[in-house]
Every structure is written in C-alpha cells, then in structure tokens.
Amino acid sequence: MTMLSRIQFALTVGFHFVFVPLSIGLILFTAIMETLYVRTGDPKYKTLTKFWGRLFTINFLLGVVTGVAMEFQFGTNWSRYSEFMGDIFGSPLAVEALMAFFLESTMLGIWIFGWNKLSKKMHLLAGWLVAIGTHLSAVWIIVANGFMQNPVGYVLRNNRAELVNFWEVLFNPYAWYTYVHTIFACYSVGAFFVLAVAAYHLLRRRNVDMMKASLRIATVFAIIATLGNAITGHFNGQNVALRQPTKFAAMEGVWEGGQGVGFPLFAIPDSANERNAVEVGVIPGLTSFMAFNSTDAHVPGLKDFPVDERPPVGLTFWSFRVMVGLGVLMLVLAALAWWHNRKGTLMERTTLLKFLLWSIPIPYIATNLGWMVAEVGRQPWTVYGLITTADSVSPVALADVVISLGLVVIFYAILVGLDIYLLVRYAKAGPEAMDERQAAVAD
C-alpha cells in the first residue's frame, strides 16, 4: 500500500520534475531574447522569442497539470501526512497559488495572445512576470520541501506539527541551499535544450544566423549554470552533512563513522553486509574535509544509526555519484562549445555539435537523480525525524490506488509522448517556419 502510493507519488513528481526545469530554464531564455528584441529592435530576436516561447508553452502546460496532480495526491494518498503537517505544509502551497500561480498563468495568457494588443514594453513586462512567477513558485514548493528535510519553526501540539514561526520556515537554510542548487539545475536543463536544438540546425546549416545567436547566449548560460551547480552542490552537501547525517553517510557510502573519514575514488556499497564491497583509492580525510572543512572532523557513519532509520544506501549513493559525473560532463561540453564558438570554429566541429544534440537527456537525468538523492536519502522519514513514510499514507482501498496508479502511468505516457512529438516537430521546423506558418494563418 505504502509502496504503491510511493510509486505513484514518485512518478507524479518525477514527471513534474521533467517538465518544470525546462519551463524555468526556457522562460528565462525567452525573456532574455525578447529583452534583446526590445533593446535592439532586431526582428531576428522577435522571431527567436516566438520560437523558444512556443517550445516553452508546450512544455509549461504539462508542468502545470502534473503540478495539480501533486496537490491532489497529498490529500488523496497521503492524508495522514496532510493531517499531521497541514498546519505548516499547507501555507507555502497556498501562498504559492496566491503569489505565483495566478501571476504565471494570467501573464502567460497575456503574453501568448497579447502580441498585437500590447505595446512592446508591456508585452516584455508580461514575459518577465511569467519568468518571475515560475521562480517564485519554485521558492514556495522548496520551502515546503525544506521543512520536510529540516523541520524548523514548529511545535508538536494536538497530535500534529503546528507552525509557531513562519519566518523560520521561510528562511530555513536547508530550503535556500536546495533552491539555488535546483534553480541552477533548471538553467542547465534549459541551456542544454537550446544547445541541442541549435546544434541540430547548425549541423544542417539551417537558420545559422539565428541559431548561432541562440547558441552564443546558451553556452554562457550553460557554463554559469553548471559551475553554479558545482559550487552550490558543495555547500548543499555540507548542509546535508550538518542536518541529515544519515543521508550524507548514504551519499558517500560511509559505514564506519569517525574522525578523518577518507574519500574512496571508487566504491560499491553492500547494504546486506554493512560495508563497501569494493573501495579503491581512498584519499585520507577528504570526506571529513568536504563535509566540515577539516580533514579530521567527525563524520557519523551509517552503523551509528539503527537499521530502520537508514535510507536505501545503494540508490542514494549511485544517484549522487552519477549526478555529479553528469554535471562534470555538462561543464566540459558547455566550455568546449563556448570556446569553439568564440574562435569561430564551431561549425567545423561536427562531432561536438552531434554530442550537443544528443546531450539533451543528460541534464534531465541529472536533475531527477538529484531529486532522488534528496527524497530517497530522507527515507524512512517523510519529515526528517518527525513522521515516517509508512505513517503518512492514506487509509484508502488498495484497489483504488492500483487503478489510479495504472491511469497515472497510461496518462503520463501519453503526455510525455505528445510533448516530445510536439517539441521535436516545432524544434525541427525552426524559427523561420514559424514565421511562414503565422503568415499563412493570417491570410
């Protein structure tokens, strides 16, 4: 039962987290394009704004509907959690709706359909308000999640967690480390999406002028995002070490706690025997140093905690490792693209362009792995140290969950299929085709 609800929730959030990062990354990119258009008056940027904007809108909608699904599931599948936590968890969600959703959705309607109804500057303002709305929306959802990771500003009263200090919840350090890290991740998804589409056109020598303009900005965007991710990732990790020792130990595969814990270059954790089956090239003191800035700092190991309070080690460990590896790969790709574009040799580097084209899934995988580290690493708790996942689930009929899970799977498969189909179609058609199409519709 708990497992089914977990699978359902993981699927819902996982898909949500496929659509949302691209939305956040792309809307910022689109808003920058439109700003360039308003400032330079160059019609090329208007075409690009519409091109990237359409790809954004296709994707944005799916972020919204999968988001509604999440809100519903807190009540339908996790009612005991909702009852225990609603006093605190509901507020950021309600504020998100009031402050961000209305802004995004109203302004998006105005932005899409207002090209001929608004002045250039007002239209640009609507676009930026959509971008601000998506960023604000992420703030509130991560603030809500931050409480689950690191509960603050509450007391236990009346059999539930009650809010006593909203500001403490809002300024929860855990939430803000995660927020900045997540936003950079969203930018890398957006940037690599643009790079891939641009590479596709450049490989075919189509729309070269416009795609080079997009690529130039996207490479800078990608470098800032991936570097930002590495830096914020480090601080995020230190914060985890401080506040969620079990998650940190699982991420790093530390079984025996102690002072001056070393960092293995390669390891394979073995949960059954509570050790790492393989450990190669251990650098003394490095794990301690990464966690607490001191080579002989004390790092608790998994064995310091009861078995039933440890997260699934393998999943957390590997998700973390692969995420970091993909981050490094993205940084290298972005830097190479930037360098060759600057030297003017990018068009000849077809292998690099092909790499960029096929790198589209990389940031998606990396962001979803990051989310796995955060959420799986928190298990068995729903709210760290307060309520377990097993105690959070709704007392609803098993059959209902089975059926709804089946429907979720079928429906999301259709959604993803259509999303990819449309994105590919419009991305391949390119910006000029959109201009022609628009002229055809207007006739």
Rule CB under 8 A: say whether 1 interacts with other proteins. no
Rule CB under 8 A: say whether 271 interacts with other proteins. no
Site for other proteins in 240-259 (CB under 8 A): none
Looking at the Cβ atoms of 12 and 244, the one nearer to other proteins is 12
Q: Is 153 left (phi over 0), alpha (psi -120 to 50) or beta?
A: left
In angstroms, what is the minimal distance from the CB of 382 to other proteins? 14
- Applying CB under 8 A, among 7, 11, 44, 57 the residue interacting with other proteins is 57
Site for other proteins in 180-239 (CB under 8 A): none
Looking at the Cβ atoms of 67 and 377, the one nearer to other proteins is 67
Binding mask 391-420 for other proteins (x = CB under 8 A): ---xxxx--x---x--x---x---x--x--
* Rounded CA separation 158/383 (Å): 17
Helices 208-243 and 245-252 meet at what angle, rounded to 10?
Answer: 120
In angstroms, what is the minimal distance from the CB of 72 to other proteins? 5
Binding mask 68-107 for other proteins (x = CB under 8 A): xx-xx-xxxx-xx-xx-xxxxxxx-xxxxxxx-xxx-xxx
In angstroms, what is the minimal distance from the CB of 430 to other proteins? 15
Site for other proteins in 126-185 (CB under 8 A): 157-158, 160, 162-164, 166
Rule CB under 8 A: say whether 54 interacts with other proteins. yes
Looking at the Cβ atoms of 307 and 439, the one nearer to other proteins is 439
Rule CB under 8 A: say whether 260 interacts with other proteins. no
In angstroms, what is the minimal distance from the CB of 84 to other proteins? 8
Site for other proteins in 277-316 (CB under 8 A): none
In angstroms, what is the minimal distance from the CB of 27 to other proteins? 15
Rule CB under 8 A: say whether 2 interacts with other proteins. no
In angstroms, what is the minimal distance from the CB of 284 to other proteins? 49
Residue 258: beta bridge partners? Answer: 299
Rule CB under 8 A: say whether 116 interacts with other proteins. yes
Rule CB under 8 A: say whether 441 interacts with other proteins. yes
**Residue among 224, 147, 222, 189 nearest 370 (CA):** 189
- Applying CB under 8 A, among 117, 121, 205, 343 the residue interacting with other proteins is 117
Looking at the Cβ atoms of 92 and 237, the one nearer to other proteins is 92
Looking at the Cβ atoms of 140 and 255, the one nearer to other proteins is 140
How big is the site for other proteins, counted in residues (CB under 8 A)? Answer: 72
Site for other proteins in 13-52 (CB under 8 A): none
